[in-house]
Amino acid sequence: MPTQNVIKMPAIPPIIVPPMQEEQLDAKERATLVARIKRLIAEQNAVLIAHYYTSADLQDLAESTGGCVSDSLEMARFGHAHPAQTLIVAGVRFMGETAKILNPEKRVLMPDLNAHCSLDLACPADTFNDFCDQHPDRVVVVYSNTSAAVKARADWVVTSGIAVKIVRHLHSLGKKILWAPDQHLGEYVRDITGADMLIWQGICVVHEAFQAAELAQMKLAYPEAAVLVHPESPAGVVALADVVGSTTQIIRAAQELPNQTFIVATDNGIFHKMHAAAPGKTLIEAPTMGFGAGCSSCAHCPWMAMNGLRNLARVLETGDNEIRIEEGIRRRAVLSIARMMNFAAQP
């Protein structure tokens, strides 16, 4: 009997999901905070860069002050190209770190430095380094949702918007890949490209909660709806999608497809921008475990929800929560991010 090489995957540390603590503001406090933040942004030559999963207040503020609301790839591009000396990143920790890696001369602030990501937490740098050492024949490709130290070990960083293209390119060169940390995105990319990929076992707690069986039922109830799915979702959910893509690609699909109704499997923070981009269309949340009966996130990221107007105003006033990255790590991490950005810039 031929013996098979069984690869032992590293154990994932237990992920502690924080309770949802979305900021509650009355109209008066909101207006006062918005005015204060606008003044501070102007005084400090700062720019606000927000992810689509942050609150509507933060997204509106970013846009009305000349900043941007976008997916993680565009957040990195925008912060790099913008002349402001202070970047305020409303999102999760890896997004602030990416901004700092690309812009060491700038001050990068975040409303809450505890805004992590279950994928980042699932991939500790020391365990990851050991695993890479065991597979020196593989090109190391990591998702952007990782720490600076993990990016420093990688050959390539990818975001969900460009992962398929980059892996397809590497596969065409005959490369074997070590992929981390998102298992579902890794399997999706492997299925599409046919690349030889060794896949880390991390998951996004938000997208993991989407349920394929309930989604199939929902499709029957809304036969005219197109299903838009972020590829961090489980394979059964991805299989039911009409469009699989990054947050920006999902918004674009709602704008461009002729359907009037969409079932959306990603964080529901995206609905703010989707409604603005596709006015008049009906957007329905894809089902999570029993409609709130036990999901740990219920289609909203508890770490993204840590960003609010109060802590944003505070960091602008105090200068607290500055992202700092050890220079040796930064110099290595910038190479793998720059490789992705140069690839993305190609026609």
**For residues 102 and 313, which CB has a smaller minimum distance to ligand 13P in the complex?**
102
In the bound complex, what is the minimum distance in angstroms from residue 287's beta carbon to ligand SF4? Answer: 17
Cβ atoms of 307 and 92 within 8 Å: the answer is: no
In the bound complex, what is the minimum distance in angstroms from residue 35's beta carbon to ligand 13P? Answer: 29
Task: Give me the residues that bind ligand SF4 (CB under 6 A), please.
Answer: 92, 117-119, 145, 204-206, 232, 267, 301, 303-304
**For residues 72 and 183, which CB has a smaller minimum distance to ligand 13P in the complex?**
72
Total chain residues near ligand 13P (CB under 6 A): 11
- Helix, strand or coil, per DSSP, at residue 317: helix
**For residues 65 and 296, which CB has a smaller minimum distance to ligand SF4 in the complex?**
296
- Provide the mask over 50-79, with x wherever binding to ligand 13P is found by CB under 6 A and - wherever it is not: ---------------------xxx------
For residue 331, give every residue at least 6 positions away whose Cβ sits within 8 Å of its Cβ, in sequence order, or none. none
Q: List, as one string, the DSSP characters of 39-96.
A: HHHHHTTEEEEEETTS-HHHHHHHHHTT-EEE-HHHHHHHHHH---SEEEEES-HHHH
Cβ atoms of 266 and 207 within 8 Å: the answer is: yes
**For residues 103 and 246, which CB has a smaller minimum distance to ligand 13P in the complex?**
246
In the bound complex, what is the minimum distance in angstroms from residue 205's beta carbon to ligand SF4? Answer: 6
In the bound complex, what is the minimum distance in angstroms from residue 89's beta carbon to ligand SF4? Answer: 12
**For residues 118 and 211, which CB has a smaller minimum distance to ligand SF4 in the complex?**
118
Question: How many C-alpha atoms does 201 have within 13 Å on its Cβ side?
Answer: 11
β-bridge partners, 284: 263
| Burial class of residue 168 (count of CB atoms within 10 Å of its CB; 0-12, 13-18, 19+) | middle
**For residues 135 and 275, which CB has a smaller minimum distance to ligand 13P in the complex?**
275
Q: Does 247 bind ligand 13P (CB under 6 A)?
A: yes
Window 121-160: residues binding ligand 13P (CB under 6 A): 145, 159-160
For residue 219, give every residue at least 6 positions away whose Cβ sits within 8 Å of its Cβ, in sequence order, or none. 225, 227, 240, 263
In the bound complex, what is the minimum distance in angstroms from residue 7's beta carbon to ligand 13P? Answer: 27
Rounded-to-integer distance, Cα 296 and Cα 289, Å: 9
Q: Does 204 bind ligand 13P (CB under 6 A)?
A: yes
Which residues lie near ligand 13P (CB under 6 A)? 71-73, 145, 159-161, 204, 232, 246-247
